[in-house]
Amino acid sequence: MKRYLSAMALALGLVVATIPAFAAEGGEGLPSAGTNVNDRASLQRGAKLFFNYCVGCHSLKYVRYSRLASDLGLSEEEVMTNLNFTGAKFGEPVISHMPADSAKTWFGKDPPDLSLEARAKGVDFIFNYLNSFYLDPSRPVGWNNTVFPNASMPNPLWELQGLQVAVHSEAKPGQESVVEKLELSQPGRLTPEEFKGATRDLATFLEYTAEPAVLERQSVGVWVVLFLALLTFLLYLVKHEYWKDVHENH
């Protein structure tokens, strides 16, 4: 009986040890975004934000409109009417309609494709980055960011968030002052808590685009691990029965 219990403990250990592997990786040292890619409503809200505020500059070249419809529970008509502003076909990938020359003129370089941004920098980075823009007249675009200093991108969600200004610490001799905190100088269309919810939805959507198969992988993966745990236990029983006579003779 002790051997059977040990085998069951080992099998359950495999399941527990595998669960953290399903968690999304985030930026180190940053507050958690609290995203949940299994929340379809959050994914839909995030998609709406991306296509209204981000797709003008950024593409998702590894994601197709048809895949979005399937994974987000939307019809072809809903996607083509509400999310497709470039005239692309339903089966084509999401490509920004910004001309390359205009992007280089305005920002100095091409805006990056965001398909794998959550994989590259983590959802916590994306969430905190979107919440950390502030006005900075010294920058070419008039904006700066505490998470990604001197970024060439303006705040795309300023109408929702409002305008933030930086409160700097007193400069020490031979050193520059640093940003201690950000204060809201002009409210936006959303309250601070509502804006955090919106950026969480957008980060959730980008977490999904970095690995669209994550929705299926997580649901199937648990059953695979449970099957392997059960198989391990059954194989242990077979081994014990097969070698029983040998063990008894010794």
Residue ranges for the known binding site for heme c are 54, 57-58
Residue 71 CA to residue 222 CA, distance in Å, equals 19
* The two structure tokens encoding residue 71: 């994974």
Binding residues: 54, 57-58
* The two structure tokens encoding residue 200: 């969480």
Q: Under a CB-based contact definition with an 8 Å cutoff, are residues 74 and 44 in contact?
A: yes
Contacts of 65 (CB under 8 A, 6+ apart): 79, 80, 83, 84, 88, 89, 90, 91, 92, 93, 94
Q: Compute how many other C-beta atoms are within 10 angstroms of the C-beta atom of residue 57.
A: 20
